[in-house]
Structure 1
Amino acid sequence: MSGFSQSVKNKNNYTYQVREEKGDLNHDGKMDKITVKMDTVDETRPLRLQVFLSQPNGKLTLAVSSDKIIEPQFPTENYGKFNGFQIPNFFIEKGVLKMWSEIKGGNITYHFKYNKGNFELIYVDKLTSDTTKGYIDENTIFTETKFNLITGVRTESDEKLGSAEAPKVRKKRVLIRPLPKIQDFKFSDKNRY
């Protein structure tokens, strides 16, 4: 007689709240809320973003939830090692949900705007440096990328630390349609922008 067991992952272990932000996301004059919760049972420590919108009765209703937008703290591909980045910060400014994340050599901010029941990626700010020595010195070049997904204009500018020279600017047009939705967005998409 042989037996086997099936391992089933419980998806409801996102119990530790890491972040909470309140603000008006759908322009109804009422406070909406976002939360980031961690699954402390799963050894990779995945994170879940949830966006709650206010209703006319004053209650909050879950509008969107994503387990893919934030990289787990101990990704499987790191074999139990910390990913090296802090958990992203979230801000609500003028109806736009902003997610600020550390990336290798810098940081990136994603701007999501509520439109017809979805949160769409409308803008990306990225700042990186080419530090090869592990520290910033007079040879460090900073690259700032500004990508307006609505117009499709992507601008990159390179500036050497302490240089009096004007930054080198590159502009190109990249249309992404439809605009990426927050629930489809993956943390690995940072390489696309």
Structure 2
Amino acid sequence: MKNIYLYFVFILISVQMNLFAQNIKSKDNYTFQVREEKGDLNNDGKMDKITVKMDLIDETRPLRLQIFLSQPKGRKLTLAVSSTQIIEAQYPVEKKGKHSEYQIPNFFIEKGVLSMWSEIKGGNITYDFKYRNGNFELINVEKLTQNSIDGSIDENTVFTKTEFNLITGLRTETDDHLDSKKILNKRTKRVLIRPLPKIQDFKFSDKKLY
């Protein structure tokens, strides 16, 4: 009886160790690098780095953004942020094997601001994140869309530019035609979001909020 008990304990431990090993392995599948950008993000005069890597094993081709920050001593960079929800998978589950239709976002670092440029339906959107209070907070959003149904552009196409300063809460929408200096319509309102969204909590679907 004792031997049978020990046998079941051994099996249970083996199963748990196998599951643990599988979990570790699944976290290491983001091996294909598609983006890398360097710049000073924490205002210490040293180069920081962001990477975007793809999981080639998962059929949906998910992507992971990681931010590495410099430290006061030494040249070693330390992982500060890791997110798999900020970028949409290339083949989302709901698309049933079809591509998302959008390219992988581009990232830029300028004057301590991390910008993410993404395609959206009928245009594009840029998010600006600033390292503040130990977190990367969303401070500004710019969006450009056009009203053409089939994507074609002519002199009657109306472009809408949205500028949203999350620090002040001022959100402005401006309508005009291509290469026209005349504003067709302008709408302004104040929307306060507190606390400011953090990059580790940000989801690609949040584009609908702005």
TM class by smaller structure: over 0.9
Aligned equivalent of 1:36, options 33, 52, 77 = 52
1:1-193 to 2 correspondence within 5 Å?
10-55=26-71, 56-161=73-178, 163=180, 165-193=182-210
**Helix, strand or coil for the counterpart of 2:183?**
coil
Task: Report the CA distance between 1:162 and its aligned residue.
Answer: 5.2
Structure 1 unmatched ranges of 5 or more: none
**Helix, strand or coil for the counterpart of 1:167?**
strand
Distance in 2, Cα, partners of 1:172 & 1:111: 20
Distance in 1, Cα, partners of 2:80 & 2:206: 22
Distance in 1, Cα, partners of 2:109 & 2:99: 28
Identity of aligned residues (%): 71
Task: Report the residue type matching 1:142 in the other structure.
Answer: F
Shift in alpha-carbon separation, 1:53–1:45, aligned structure 2, 3 A: same
Shift in alpha-carbon separation, 1:57–1:172, aligned structure 2, 3 A: same
Task: Report the residue type matching 1:78 in the other structure.
Answer: K
Task: Report the residue type matching 1:24 in the other structure.
Answer: D
Distance in 2, Cα, partners of 1:101 & 1:28: 28
Structure 2 unmatched ranges of 5 or more: 1-14
Distance in 2, Cα, partners of 1:47 & 1:133: 29
Task: Report the CA distance between 1:133 and its aligned residue.
Answer: 3.1
CA offset digits 1:90-134 (Å, max 9, x no partner): 000000000000100000000000012100000001000011133
Distance in 1, Cα, partners of 2:121 & 2:49: 29
Structure 2-normalised TM-score? 0.86
Please provide the CA RMSD for this pair.
1.7
Distance in 1, Cα, partners of 2:96 & 2:132: 39
Task: Report the CA distance between 1:164 and its aligned residue.
Answer: 5.8
Distance in 2, Cα, partners of 1:16 & 1:155: 39
- Select the structure with the greater relative contact order (CA < 8 A; seq sep ≥ 6): 1
Task: Report the residue type matching 1:188 in the other structure.
Answer: S
Task: Report the residue type matching 1:25 in the other structure.
Answer: L
Distance in 2, Cα, partners of 1:163 & 1:151: 28
Shift in alpha-carbon separation, 1:176–1:164, aligned structure 2, 3 A: closer
User: Aligned residues, how many?
Assistant: 189
Contact 1:138/1:162 (8 A) holds in 2: no
Shift in alpha-carbon separation, 1:125–1:46, aligned structure 2, 3 A: same
